[in-house]
């Protein structure tokens, strides 16, 4: 669907719990800035759900929430940075980073984009929609993605190769839709605000391999949180 690029074999890479937990901890700390109560903080609530699915311990989870909300001294302060540019063959890319060292991240991103083209703010974001994205799995064989999208208030949906469905929402409706989906027979796996390409580029052969190698290198950087690419079929 092109909405969010996932490197081939990324599921295997995610088994390295150290990297996965670092990413989840950053998300929890960022979310907790808006309040430590998950009932009043949708982003934090979803981050907690994902952390529990990854078997994060209660102690680690609570410590991340307290650091993010300022209840513990010495918490690392993470800053969100967004970069725009092009992978090889003029494929548009948006990279979101969470970092505690802006200079390090800027240097790394500039180096990674040497095989592509790093652009200014707005250089490619115009070719993406800023939307809510909910990945959900059918809870039973009777679950109907189209009907669920209509009833829950999603704008659109896409059925993925792994059997999950990505429901697209207005960014202001993300929390409402993800709460409504279980009543329509779907179990929410993740929910976030991200970027969906308007005009994904189609590539094949060596050109596709070159772009995938470029994206894989970016994805490996510890400060990179999400990668969105205008590439058809990803």
DSSP string for residues in 22-40:
HHHHHHHHHHHTT-S-TTT
Report whether 81 contacts 99 (CB < 8 A). Answer: yes
How far apart (Å, rounded) are the C-alpha atoms in residues 231 and 2?
5
Lowest mean pLDDT among 1-10, 25-34, 120-129, 164-173: 1-10
* Residue extents of the structural domains in the chain: 128-197
**pLDDT greater than 60 at residue 9:** no
Q: How large is the average pLDDT for residues 71-86?
A: 83
**pTM exceeds 0.85 for this model:** no
Note the pLDDT of residue 54.
81
Q: How large is the average pLDDT for residues 147-166?
A: 92
**pLDDT greater than 60 at residue 107:** yes
**pLDDT greater than 90 at residue 86:** yes
Residue range 20-36, pLDDT digits in tens: 788 888 888 888 888 88
User: What residues contact residue 112 under an 8 Å CB cut-off, 6+ apart?
Assistant: 214, 217, 218, 221
Note the pLDDT of residue 41.
85
Nearest to 97 by CA among 191, 218, 224, 11: 224
The yes/no answer on whether domain 128-197 falls in CATH 3.30.70.980 is yes
**pLDDT greater than 60 at residue 1:** no
Note the pLDDT of residue 38.
86
Other beta carbons within 10 angstroms of residue 36's beta carbon come to 17
Task: Specify the higher pLDDT residue, 230 or 3.
Answer: 230
DSSP element (H, E) containing 19: helix 17-32
Mean pLDDT of the chain: 87
Task: Specify the higher pLDDT residue, 8 or 94.
Answer: 94
Q: How large is the average pLDDT for residues 116-123?
A: 93
Q: How large is the average pLDDT for residues 96-125?
A: 93
**pLDDT greater than 60 at residue 40:** yes
Note the pLDDT of residue 8.
57
């Amino acid at each position: 669907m092109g909405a969010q690029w996932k490197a081939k074999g990324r599921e295997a890479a995610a088994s390295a719990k150290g990297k996965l937990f670092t990413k989840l901890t950053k998300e929890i700390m960022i979310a907790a800035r808006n309040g430590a109560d998950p009932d009043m903080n949708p982003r934090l609530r979803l981050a907690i759900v994902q952390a529990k699915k990854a078997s994060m311990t209660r102690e680690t989870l609570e410590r991340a929430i307290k650091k993010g909300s300022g209840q513990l001294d010495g918490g690392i302060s993470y800053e969100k940075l967004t970069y725009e540019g092009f992978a090889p063959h003029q494929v548009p890319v948006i990279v979101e980073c969470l970092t505690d060292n802006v200079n390090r991240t800027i240097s790394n991103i500039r180096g990674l984009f040497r095989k592509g083209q790093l652009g200014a703010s707005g250089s490619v974001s115009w070719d993406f929609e800023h939307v809510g994205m909910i990945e959900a799995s059918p809870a039973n064989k009777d679950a109907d993605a189209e009907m669920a999208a209509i009833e829950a208030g999603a704008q659109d949906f896409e059925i993925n190769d792994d059997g999950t469905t990505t429901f697209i929402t207005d960014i202001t409706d993300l929390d409402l839709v993800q709460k409504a989906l279980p009543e329509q027979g779907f179990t929410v796996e993740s929910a976030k605000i991200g970027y969906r390409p308007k005009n994904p580029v189609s590539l094949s052969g060596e050109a596709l391999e070159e772009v995938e190698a470029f994206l894989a290198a970016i994805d490996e950087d510890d400060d990179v949180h999400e990668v969105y690419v205008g590439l058809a079929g990803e």
